Structure 1
Amino acid sequence: MAFPQRILGDDEKLVMVLRQHVKILAGPFALLVVLAAFTTVLIGAVRGRTGETVLTVVILVAAGGVLLRWVLWPFLVWWNDVFVITNERLITRKGVLNREGRDIPLVRINDIAFTHSLWDRILGCGTLVVESAGERGQVTFTDVPRVERVQRILFELCDDLRTPDAGTRGPGHEAVEAPEGHEGHEDRSTR
């Protein structure tokens, strides 16, 4: 899912589109493997028995229900939770059926911090804490891929907006790239 350009302002440029780290899908993926094996074994066990067709349908319907609830639904939630950085604001959109969104102008961001455990460091993700001057104060984003890099990019964008010569950065400030593991979410920075 590409982020819809219609949400952006006239001079607003997309810098980065992120989703939570794919580690969130490890449990559903493991369940998918176990479910496929278990379903295959059960269908094999009812072969040649009386009522084989009915039992096979019951097994497939039950497996389909488990697949929808504990495999497909978590994937849809992950896919629809988007964290977007533009040159003007931080945007979040969440939800599959009911949507929830929040926009934080970069000029209102006071502090950007990150934390990550040893396990998060191994996987290349962490928690990003953004403190804004708004009514809600702190916003926490969990399982952000390459969180240190995202924190640095946000800091640079906020710094650019606060300096009089914003947008005229010198050499050595190349465009940013989307973190690995986010295929289809290439960098769209125009700095």
Structure 2
Amino acid sequence: MAARERRHAELDRYLLDGERLVTAVHQHWGKVAEPVGSAAAGLVVALWADIKIDPSIAVISTILWWGWFALVLRMAYLVAEWRHDWFVATDKRLLLFYGFITRKVSMMPLAKVTDMSYERSIPGRILGYGRFVMESAGQDQALREVNWVPQPDHHYRAICAEIFGVTDHDSQVIDMRWENGVAPAAPVPDPYAGWDDPSRGTGRPDSLYRSPDLRERDRSADTGPIPIYPPKAPRRDPWLDDD
């Protein structure tokens, strides 16, 4: 729950009142795979050097340990930056929040997007990420490319459905009406709604609120066909007859 509240507070800082959230995702974990792998490899090298190198040249081992410490600091910074990066699409614009120390926001109005495509390299197809490219009527925009997008097929369809004003079967619009980071609960149906509707007694299961005697007196019950009578001759008033 705490992570959900931080997420909503982060987005609510930049989104406008009335904006409907279409999608909001962190960039793919593959973005930080290299610094994490480098730190792990540096640890292995430092341990190997500490065991194998002769004590007379222990300065080399010390240098390697300091190098590993630098890799750990680099990894920590890039992971923290990745955790604060967001790619957000609303019904009005596309946004990219990035930067850990210096916070930056790139934006493109959704109405100016004339073309949108995404690319998936071989590693991206294996790991499940892609790259979005937006075009905007020959104008240079602050947001043109978004890399490391997870589940690109799903998010591409959701954004294109919003651009063209259609409904996608796999898209889920995120409700922005939260309070203190908690999404609103689904409305509870009223069990008494429509209890006095006469149509409930015709062709439907018996209601808990309609007794058999009420159903028998119900005007909506089946009364059979209405008979057709021949028209009667009009009556003549003798006082109005002409002499």
Q: Which TM-score applies when normalising by structure 1?
A: 0.68
Task: List alignment gaps of at least 5 residues for structure 1.
Answer: 164-168, 178-191
Which of 51, 59, 84 is the matching residue for 1:80?
84
In the other structure, the counterpart of 1:106 is 110
The separation in 1 between residues aligned to 2:100 and 2:65, in whole angstroms, is: 25
1:92–1:102 contact (8 Å) kept in structure 2: yes
Deviations 1:65-97 (A, max 9, x none): 23113x223323323332111222111122222
Aligned ranges for residues 8-23 of structure 1 at < 5 Å? 8-23=15-30
Q: Which TM-score applies when normalising by structure 2?
A: 0.56
1:7 corresponds to 2:14: yes
1:108–1:133 contact (8 Å) kept in structure 2: yes
1:175 corresponds to 2:179: no
Identity %: 24
User: What residue identity is the alignment partner of 1:142?
Assistant: N
In the other structure, the counterpart of 1:142 is 147
Comparing both structures, which one devotes a greater share of its residues to strand? 1
The separation in 2 between residues aligned to 1:75 and 1:6, in whole angstroms, is: 22
Task: Tell me how far 1:26 sits from its aligned partner.
Answer: 2.0
Deviations 1:113-170 (A, max 9, x none): 112123322222221111224841571112211222222111111122xx8xxxxx5x
Which of 95, 118, 134 is the matching residue for 2:99?
95
Which of 29, 32, 47 is the matching residue for 1:25?
32
The separation in 2 between residues aligned to 1:66 and 1:116, in whole angstroms, is: 29
In structure 2, the CA distance between the partners of 1:172 and 1:119, relative to structure 1 (3 Å rule), is closer
In the other structure, the counterpart of 1:159 is 164
| Rg comparison, structure with higher value | 2
The separation in 2 between residues aligned to 1:24 and 1:139, in whole angstroms, is: 18
In the other structure, the counterpart of 1:132 is 136
SS in 2 for 1:158: helix
The separation in 2 between residues aligned to 1:134 and 1:99, in whole angstroms, is: 28
The separation in 2 between residues aligned to 1:176 and 1:122, in whole angstroms, is: 27
In structure 2, the CA distance between the partners of 1:9 and 1:114, relative to structure 1 (3 Å rule), is same
SS in 1 for 2:34: helix
The separation in 2 between residues aligned to 1:65 and 1:150, in whole angstroms, is: 36
What's the Cα RMSD here?
3.6
Q: Which moved more, 1:55-64 or 1:146-155?
A: 55-64
The separation in 2 between residues aligned to 1:42 and 1:176, in whole angstroms, is: 54
In the other structure, the counterpart of 1:184 is none
SS in 2 for 1:175: coil
In structure 2, the CA distance between the partners of 1:28 and 1:123, relative to structure 1 (3 Å rule), is same
Task: Give the number of equivalent residue pairs.
Answer: 168
1:20–1:145 contact (8 Å) kept in structure 2: yes
Which gives a bigger RCO, structure 1 or 2 (Cα 8 Å, sep 6+)? 1
